[in-house]
């Protein structure tokens, strides 16, 4: 659905024009996986796939939502947010909990919300690890900001969106996805320190294209081992703290310290922690490689990041592994790895720009998703973060 169709559907549904339209992008993560809840550094980029949201104040306490792509509608009261019920007292459908959670988190943080009528559509594939839900959250936070007449920083909107997902939807995600959707910078990756919350745009080396390849395997964070992985990291910190009393998170453990102390960890927390400690180090190395315009080094770091997610963090799938393996022999490939939480979803491929089409054609020819349909492989561009259109 394009913007004109979104406008028209709003008019047909609510009998008037929307007051404003918001765009909030999805993201890919170039490096730094499963480190945002370990106080680490991440390197995501907002992409040119986004949620588009048309909205207007309803003038009362009701939120009326139409998820155009799902063809589903619901209505609920701001006064009943904590009960997670619709106007009829039925449980809110899963998709409506993201905007409801944002309204709840905004109110909790003391920001003014209001009843709204809203319609949204998205070209971010759902459950593909490209943060479609973070984009919905950041989109609604941006909408309520504009309608409420208050101004918060982009980072604050991201934190409120993360709070919605953690405490209302019930997924213990880190801040990376909401951060990237809110703070994206066109043409840049974002180097984000999830401990200090400082960040800066990081230019990608010249002549590099970002290619996303969808394994066709869908995942669900809540039903996956995401929360288990988090718990294993916390367990590792507890044990390592007996030897390194000043550590707060795996971020504080150096690679050499880990090598000396890993014998004290049971197998699962040891493997999970080894991934995290080395992945944080890899992000630093990748940043150095980017500054030197050293594409080879950057690519090698991505491949080793994938292996670590495969063998140590154990969040890859045979399909994602296959995509990464195929990429190695294709024209122009610099590096590839799974992106996002894993358990299905997509790979991110860094490819020489002038060979991007040959790379895409090659991957399409060689990879068959489990449903037997054509492989979804596409060029993407680092885009700006959420804003009013
Ligand atoms: C999901 C979470 C993020 C992050 C990644 C893994 O996308 O929402 O916070 O933990 O997984 O890096």
pLDDT in tens, the chain (389 residues): 899 999 999 999 999 999 999 999 999 999 999 999 999 999 999 999 999 999 999 999 999 999 999 999 999 999 999 999 999 999 999 999 999 999 999 999 999 999 999 999 999 998 889 999 999 999 999 999 999 999 999 999 999 999 999 999 988 899 999 999 999 999 999 999 999 999 999 998 889 999 999 999 987 655 678 989 999 999 999 999 999 999 999 999 999 999 999 999 999 999 999 999 999 999 999 999 999 999 999 999 999 999 999 999 999 999 999 999 999 999 999 999 999 999 999 999 999 999 999 999 999 999 999 999 999 999 999 999 999 99
Verify whether ligand 1 is closer than 6 Å to residue 86 (CB atom).
no
Residue located nearest, by CA, to atom 9 of ligand 1: 174
The pairing of strands 376-380 and 208-214 is antiparallel
35 alpha carbon – ligand 1 mean position (Å):
8
Verify whether ligand 1 is closer than 6 Å to residue 137 (CB atom).
no
34 alpha carbon – ligand 1 mean position (Å):
6
Q: What share of the chain is helix, strand, coil (3-state, %, to 5)?
A: 45, 25, 35
Residue 60 is a catalytic residue: no
C-alpha torsion 302→305→310→312, nearest 10? 170
- What integer pLDDT is reported at residue 220 of this predicted model? 61
- What integer pLDDT is reported at residue 127 of this predicted model? 85
Verify whether ligand 1 is closer than 6 Å to residue 39 (CB atom).
no
Mutate to test the pocket of ligand 1, among 177, 249, 280, 342 (most ligand atoms within 8 A of CB): 177
176 alpha carbon – ligand 1 mean position (Å):
6
Query: What is the C-alpha to C-alpha distance for residues 219 and 186, in angstroms, rounded to an integer?
Result: 28
25-44 residues labelled b (16+ CB within 10 A) or e (exposed): bbbbbbbbbbbbbbbbbbbb
- What integer pLDDT is reported at residue 77 of this predicted model? 97
The ligand 1 atom at the shortest distance from the C-alpha of residue 176 is 9
51 alpha carbon – ligand 1 mean position (Å):
19
The ligand 1 atom at the shortest distance from the C-alpha of residue 134 is 8
Verify whether ligand 1 is closer than 6 Å to residue 33 (CB atom).
yes
Burial (CB count <10 Å: 0-12, 13-18, 19+), residue 231: middle
220 alpha carbon – ligand 1 mean position (Å):
12
Residue located nearest, by CA, to atom 2 of ligand 1: 173
- What integer pLDDT is reported at residue 221 of this predicted model? 55
The ligand 1 atom at the shortest distance from the C-alpha of residue 42 is 12
pTM of the predicted model as reported, rounded to 2 decimal places: 0.96
Catalytic residue among 86, 177, 214, 252: 177
CB 9 within 8 A of CB 68: yes
Verify whether ligand 1 is closer than 6 Å to residue 341 (CB atom).
yes
Residue located nearest, by CA, to atom 1 of ligand 1: 341
CB 139 within 8 A of CB 120: yes
């Amino acid at each position: 659905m394009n913007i004109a169709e979104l406008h028209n559907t709003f008019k047909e549904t609510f009998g008037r024009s929307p007051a404003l339209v918001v765009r909030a992008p999805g993201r890919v993560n170039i490096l730094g996986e499963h480190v945002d809840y370990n106080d680490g550094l991440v390197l995501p980029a907002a992409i040119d796939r986004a949620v588009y949201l048309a909205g207007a104040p309803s003038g009362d306490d009701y939120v009326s939502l139409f998820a155009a792509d799902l063809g589903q509608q619901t209505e609920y009261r701001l006064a009943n947010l904590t009960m997670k019920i619709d106007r009829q007292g039925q449980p809110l459908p899963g998709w409506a909990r993201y905007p409801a959670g944002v309204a709840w988190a905004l109110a909790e943080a003391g920001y003014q919300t209001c009843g709204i009528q809203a319609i949204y559509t998205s070209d971010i594939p759902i459950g593909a690890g490209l943060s479609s839900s973070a984009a919905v959250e950041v989109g609604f936070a941006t909408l309520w900001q504009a309608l409420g007449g208050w101004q918060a920083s982009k980072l604050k909107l991201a934190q409120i969106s993360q709070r919605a997902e953690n405490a209302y939807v019930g997924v213990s995600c880190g801040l990376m996805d909401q951060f990237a959707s809110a703070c994206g910078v066109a043409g840049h990756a974002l180097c984000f320190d999830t401990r200090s919350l400082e960040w800066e745009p990081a230019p990608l080396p010249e002549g590099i294209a970002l290619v996303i390849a969808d394994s066709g395997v869908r995942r669900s964070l809540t039903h996956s081992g995401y929360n288990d992985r988090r718990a294993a990291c916390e367990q590792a910190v507890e044990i390592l703290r007996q030897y390194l009393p000043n550590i707060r998170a795996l971020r504080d453990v150096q690679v050499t310290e880990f090598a000396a102390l890993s014998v004290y960890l049971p197998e699962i927390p040891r493997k999970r922690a080894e991934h995290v400690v080395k992945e944080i180090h890899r992000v630093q190395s990748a940043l150095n490689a980017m500054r030197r315009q050293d594409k080879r080094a950057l690519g090698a770091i991505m491949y080793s990041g994938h292996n670590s997610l495969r063998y140590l963090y154990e969040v890859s799938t045979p399909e994602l592994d296959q995509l990464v393996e195929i990429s190695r022999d294709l024209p122009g490939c610099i590096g590839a790895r799974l992106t996002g939480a894993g358990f299905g979803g997509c790979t991110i491929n860094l490819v020489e720009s002038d060979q991007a089409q040959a790379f895409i054609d090659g991957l399409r020819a060689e990879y068959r998703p489990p449903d037997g349909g054509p492989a979804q492989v596409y060029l993407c561009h680092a885009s700006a973060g959420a804003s009013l259109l």
